[in-house]
Amino acid sequence: MPIKISHQFDAGAIDVISAVNPQQIDLHIRKDSHAEFAQWFYFRLQGARGEACNLRFLNAGKTTYPAGWNDYQAVASYDRESWFRVPTSFDGTVMTITHTPERDSVYYAYFEPYSWERHLQLLGDAEASPLARIIDLGTTLDGHDLNAIVIGNPAAAKKIWVIARQHPGETMAEWFVEGLVGAMLDPDNPVALQLLKKAVLYIVPNMNPDGSVRGNLRTNAAGANLNREWMTPSLAVSPEVLAVKTKMHETGCDLFLDVHGDEALPYVFVAGSEMLENFSPAQATAQQRFLDCFVQASPDFQTKVGYASSKYREEVLKLASKYVAHTFKCVSLTLEMPFKDNAINPDARIGWDGDRSAQLGAAILIPVLDAMA
């Protein structure tokens, strides 16, 4: 039986150069649909059961984050439920997955995907709780709904905003949201019960539906990097940001989390807002308190490794968390999770994955509650 590679499904993305010989399957990582970014891949291989396959990504060294391939292990799944890491090497130019599929059909991806179907299920499951409402914020360029889950009473004193997947290929961000929402809607969770006495949560599980379904790493259907659009979002280029920013100005914001994944660093970390010119001592104290509490709440979180705070000097207010910190003078963080593994808590078989992201999403409610004190 000849081998076959396909990608015509939700978030599927790969360019096939040659798929004849299982020992030398040659591929290119595809660019985003309307931008030069290239890193996300997700495809299906059929007909290679029992064959020692070498899947070679010939342009890996020319992708957006080549450092992301150092010490990286790709993920695979037979059923798209259970994902595991497969041996992967990178020589600076070509990345190679070496794997012998045990079944006729196997999927390979950059990270455990989070499908549009699962997104819709998340909304439906959330609204089954009397604590949650689903609000429609607008429509994307491809015609997807942009929804938020509102948990708690909108009249509550404090407004918490959580957004995820501005960069659609960072699927761990929506897994994180799934864990956070599940914990918030658990009627036996004492942290959630206390939090609901003080705050309402506005949660956007997927800021970039078009990019997600298209299999983009970083951009929407217009090729826009949404996390550079917060100063001047527009209906034509970044309706997702325009809709969320408009709603946020309507509600106010007392705490903001923008959830991401980092291609290179094998750690969970945050980027704060200390580089802002008007960052106040009160904001600095509150930010540090949040980080200290988060370290206590989750052994997966740490503050030793992260971005230098000078990383975003240029036009910094285009970034969501900086714009929000500047505008609402609140704790406002970009949370990054690894595509690789968590070096302080490694798991060789699975690496960092959806479940661990969800656990982190539940754990962050402890510092979030602390911040409402």
Residues 226 and 161 sit within 8 Å (Cβ to Cβ)? no
User: CA quadruple 273, 275, 280, 282: dihedral positive or negative?
Assistant: positive
Q: Which is nearer to Zn ion, 170 or 300 (CB)?
A: 170
Site stretch for Zn ion (CB under 5 A), options 47-55, 67-75, 257-265, 314-322: 257-265
Q: Which is nearer to Zn ion, 85 or 167 (CB)?
A: 167
* Local structure of 191: helix, strand or coil: helix
In the chain, what is the straight-line distance between the N-terminal and C-terminal CA atoms, in Å?
Answer: 64
For 124, the token pair is 């439906």
* Local structure of 338: helix, strand or coil: strand
Q: Which is nearer to Zn ion, 152 or 209 (CB)?
A: 209
Neighbouring residues of 262: CB distance < 8 A, sequence distance ≥ 6 = 269, 336, 337, 338, 339
Minimum CB–partner distance for residue 99 and Zn ion (Å): 28
* Local structure of 190: helix, strand or coil: helix
Give the x-and-dash track for 122-161 against Zn ion (CB under 5 A): ----------------------------------------
For 111, the token pair is 């990270």
Minimum CB–partner distance for residue 343 and Zn ion (Å): 19
Site stretch for Zn ion (CB under 5 A), options 25-33, 86-94, 164-172, 318-326: 164-172
- Alpha carbon 214 to chain centroid distance? 15
Minimum CB–partner distance for residue 208 and Zn ion (Å): 10
Task: Write down the catalytic residue from 170, 178, 263, 336.
Answer: 336
Q: Which is nearer to Zn ion, 96 or 321 (CB)?
A: 321
Q: Which is nearer to Zn ion, 119 or 167 (CB)?
A: 167
Site stretch for Zn ion (CB under 5 A), options 23-31, 110-118, 258-266, 315-323: 258-266
Would you call 315 a catalytic residue per the annotation?
no
User: What is the residue whose two structure tokens read 């690789």?
Assistant: 340
Minimum CB–partner distance for residue 298 and Zn ion (Å): 20
Minimum CB–partner distance for residue 260 and Zn ion (Å): 3
DSSP code string of 106-129: EEEESS----HHHHHHHHHHHHTS
Site stretch for Zn ion (CB under 5 A), options 136-144, 168-176, 263-271, 311-319: 168-176
| 260 lines the binding site for Zn ion (CB under 5 A) | yes
Which segments of the chain are extended strands (E)?
4-6, 15-18, 25-28, 42-46, 53-57, 74-77, 84-86, 88-90, 95-99, 105-109, 132-139, 145-151, 158-164, 199-204, 255-262, 269-271, 331-338
Q: Which is nearer to Zn ion, 184 or 224 (CB)?
A: 224
Number of residues that bind Zn ion (CB under 5 A): 3
Minimum CB–partner distance for residue 166 and Zn ion (Å): 6
Site stretch for Zn ion (CB under 5 A), options 175-183, 188-196, 256-264, 297-305: 256-264
Closest CA to 101 of 113, 89, 84: 84
* 345-364 residues labelled b (16+ CB within 10 A) or e (exposed): eeeeebbbbbebbbbbbbbb
Minimum CB–partner distance for residue 218 and Zn ion (Å): 7
User: CA quadruple 302, 308, 312, 313: dihedral positive or negative?
Assistant: positive
Q: Which is nearer to Zn ion, 170 or 229 (CB)?
A: 170
For the annotated catalytic residues, the residue numbers are 336
Q: Which residues bind Zn ion (CB under 5 A)?
A: 167, 170, 260
